[in-house]
Structure 1
């Protein structure tokens, strides 16, 4: 195990390999925040004038949260921001007036309303920005507002309440990290996120963890270290303790970041009474009211995959023959060679005629895959199931109806017969992959997953709506050599 590894060496590695942004990119983000703050000030005056408010000298706050707000973000990360508005400014003002002002900075703007946390999504100076909105009953929103004050939640509609979760969580985390440890926490989180991405276990909908959940696990590790333990608090030591803790965590023991689960106004909730955790294999409790499961899609299989990755990382951190920290981190961040690990795979293909349907079903399939994994877990012939977070999307043109059907049915080598009438078009195909380990076949019998596949296809059909007439599904088994083109 390496010793005397200071933070500078790790931060230099992260910067030189492009994992974290250089000072020019950081300056670009800071400049963007200044422009957005200026827009907020103008937004207040515009709304006050249009709605004949008595004053326009009240404050609203544009607050960063998530990985950017916490300072643990990677190169190219989104900027998650929330506009905390004072009384008199409504969500429709945000969708209309604020959007108009944003158009001065970019034309790439999309208002996404039909979601738990409605946002204005835009890209400014190549930086992706998601802005959510909360309207308080306060006459003015001060810069030092305490978002953990539960009285702020009274009277909020469900969209505002959901939009408060990220900012409240960030304040909880920052309140529990000692200021002199913040830089260490940030660089450790950056290491963990990059490691999880390289090892293909980053993705909440697929049954793994997203940025906030990885942050919760790191926070639990940090909080488990006694302040006067004498342990040197640097990135290397915290990263080592992180992998050691989660390689041996006794799931399904819940992960909580406080001694009790908070209800409203100081009430204490019983873990056993919370519906979200009733059947959870990997319960991780969000730290602020209203609490929820941070791993709603985790399965026994994805937990097993993550545990193996924790153990691999733990072994690397303990290995004492690395020349320096650069060699260790290069080994730790080695890309997962997924296709080399399995002989058997399931290939799930979603084919659509429009780009919009393709994008919609990419999101739907990500949360549907854990259902298929759960069905496969009860098959006694399957010993290991590994859903792959990477998907593959391609567009293929056809000239005839027969050519279209051939693509939908998986005949990649089909040669079209142009005797039939020409009806050209294009299909968009997204492929999801699941790796399988199976018991050796006995008496010539193959592993049969037809029942599980049919049940899953029925689930997908139930998710259809009137706009999905162009979407088709296809699930087939595949051997490794069939997937070479996807590597």
Structure 2
């Protein structure tokens, strides 16, 4: 379980991100009291895994990585790769998304990037490794979706849902100390590999750009809980997904580097209730690379100028994480952020409790018209009989 932690002030850099801090004030006793109250409220929503669940998740991840390494050696032998290359081929799996950020909730998926050597073909991952996974007795509900924007294998391993993406390095081995934040990683490789790499690159960069990772994690857990309770946690439905919320919280951490968790949450609502969209949210000025990869730049790309709520990833090639936001969903997001700000003001005045922030919205009372989307799977053979 992640808890709020006071940073070491003497060692703290003065600037994170694009600007200097708004405030470097240290927490006062009232801020620490509010943080304890916030943590107690969050625990009541059962968002944290217990130790047994956490250890089970870690075991599954280690077993998966071991299986991937074994498969790489097996396929090298099948390809008659020289023994000296096979022995050093390595292979590594990098978690990304909420699991890597350290903010996953009970029963959450694991997003993971499998990295292999450049002499392999991508197809092998979705055929040969897929077959090896399917043969494991612990694996259920496995499916390969090669035609997706980011091709993925989805599966359940001992009850944990896992989404695996795959990328190839432009080298013959995958060392344990591989630094995926080096931009040369995405030079001259398949665009599908670039997209796969960026899931990890973005989440790792976020962690490196906040002054206090533990406070960031607790604040992000609070914002994620609020967004889910208010039915605005969904990229597919035109709201914001996990990466967008993480970037927004990280930006608040950058400008309030010494703040405790409750202050970060309060400032989140204050700052973004005043934000003038479409001014973009950025954590860093991303290095410009001449790798001929598409990246978000409204000065160059006319379509990027139409984005209503740009929240930009901090890794090359930078992308807008909120392209699905429409005028109607932006209005709802703004309404909910203003509601959050009003409640936080009352919390500061001791007129409200944190539980009021997390009250679940009554969807059917709030909206007069609701569109229901039903998906059906039909077995043609059974249907014909």
- Greater share of strand: 1
Is the aligned partner of 1:328 residue 2:373? no
| CA apart distance, 1:322 | 8.2
- Judged with a 3 Å threshold, the aligned counterparts in structure 2 of structure 1 residues 116 and 239 are, in CA distance, closer, same or farther, namely same
- Judged with a 3 Å threshold, the aligned counterparts in structure 2 of structure 1 residues 198 and 323 are, in CA distance, closer, same or farther, namely same
Is the aligned partner of 1:309 residue 2:336? yes
Residues in 1 aligned to 2:229 and 2:297: alpha-carbon distance in whole angstroms: 37
Name 2:179's counterpart in structure 1: 146
Q: What RMSD, in angstroms, separates the aligned Cα atoms of the two structures?
A: 2.7
Is the aligned partner of 1:123 residue 2:156? yes
Name 2:86's counterpart in structure 1: 56
Residues 166-205 of structure 1: pairs in structure 2 closer than 5 A = 166-178=199-211, 181-205=212-236
Unaligned runs of 5+ in 1: 358-424, 426-487
Name 1:36's counterpart in structure 2: 64
Residues in 2 aligned to 1:49 and 1:5: alpha-carbon distance in whole angstroms: 60
Look up the SS of the partner of 2:371 in the other structure: strand
Is the aligned partner of 1:90 residue 2:121? yes
Name 1:216's counterpart in structure 2: 247
**Cα deviation 1:207-228 (Å, max 9, x = unaligned):** 1100001111111211223x5x
| CA apart distance, 1:12 | 4.7
Check whether the contact 1:261–1:270 (CA below 8 A) recurs between aligned residues: no
- Judged with a 3 Å threshold, the aligned counterparts in structure 2 of structure 1 residues 323 and 166 are, in CA distance, closer, same or farther, namely same
Is the aligned partner of 1:69 residue 2:97? no
| CA apart distance, 1:5 | 2.7
Higher relative contact order (CA 8 A, sep 6+): 2
- Which of 312, 316, 322 is 1:289 aligned to? 316
- Which of 265, 269, 273 is 2:300 aligned to? 273
| CA apart distance, 1:160 | 0.7
Check whether the contact 1:276–1:296 (CA below 8 A) recurs between aligned residues: no
Residues 451-462 of structure 1: pairs in structure 2 closer than 5 A = none
Check whether the contact 2:296–2:320 (CA below 8 A) recurs between aligned residues: no
| CA apart distance, 1:333 | 0.8
Look up the SS of the partner of 2:58 in the other structure: helix
Check whether the contact 1:6–1:234 (CA below 8 A) recurs between aligned residues: no
| CA apart distance, 1:310 | 1.0
Check whether the contact 1:256–1:287 (CA below 8 A) recurs between aligned residues: yes
Residues in 2 aligned to 1:44 and 1:163: alpha-carbon distance in whole angstroms: 18
Based on CA coordinates, which of the two structures has the bigger radius of gyration? 1
- Judged with a 3 Å threshold, the aligned counterparts in structure 2 of structure 1 residues 269 and 203 are, in CA distance, closer, same or farther, namely closer
Residues in 2 aligned to 1:207 and 1:201: alpha-carbon distance in whole angstroms: 9
Is the aligned partner of 1:17 residue 2:29? no
Name 1:238's counterpart in structure 2: 264
Residues 341-420 of structure 1: pairs in structure 2 closer than 5 A = 341-342=366-367, 344-345=368-369, 347-350=370-373, 354-355=376-377
The normalised TM-score by structure 1 is 0.66
- Judged with a 3 Å threshold, the aligned counterparts in structure 2 of structure 1 residues 356 and 124 are, in CA distance, closer, same or farther, namely farther
Residues 153-168 of structure 1: pairs in structure 2 closer than 5 A = 153-168=186-201
Check whether the contact 2:237–2:324 (CA below 8 A) recurs between aligned residues: yes
Is the aligned partner of 1:248 residue 2:301? no
Residues in 2 aligned to 1:8 and 1:33: alpha-carbon distance in whole angstroms: 32
| CA apart distance, 1:272 | 2.2
Residues in 1 aligned to 2:191 and 2:355: alpha-carbon distance in whole angstroms: 45
| CA apart distance, 1:192 | 0.8
Is the aligned partner of 1:80 residue 2:111? yes
| CA apart distance, 1:84 | 1.0
Residues in 2 aligned to 1:112 and 1:13: alpha-carbon distance in whole angstroms: 39
User: Deviating runs (4+, > 6 A) in structure 1?
Assistant: 266-269, 321-324
Look up the SS of the partner of 1:120 in the other structure: strand
- Judged with a 3 Å threshold, the aligned counterparts in structure 2 of structure 1 residues 162 and 97 are, in CA distance, closer, same or farther, namely same
Residues in 2 aligned to 1:296 and 1:137: alpha-carbon distance in whole angstroms: 31
Unaligned runs of 5+ in 2: 1-28
Residues in 1 aligned to 2:226 and 2:193: alpha-carbon distance in whole angstroms: 33
- Which of 339, 345, 349 is 1:318 aligned to? 345
Residues in 2 aligned to 1:288 and 1:321: alpha-carbon distance in whole angstroms: 36
Look up the SS of the partner of 2:32 in the other structure: coil
Size of the aligned set, in residue pairs, is 346
Check whether the contact 1:82–1:134 (CA below 8 A) recurs between aligned residues: yes
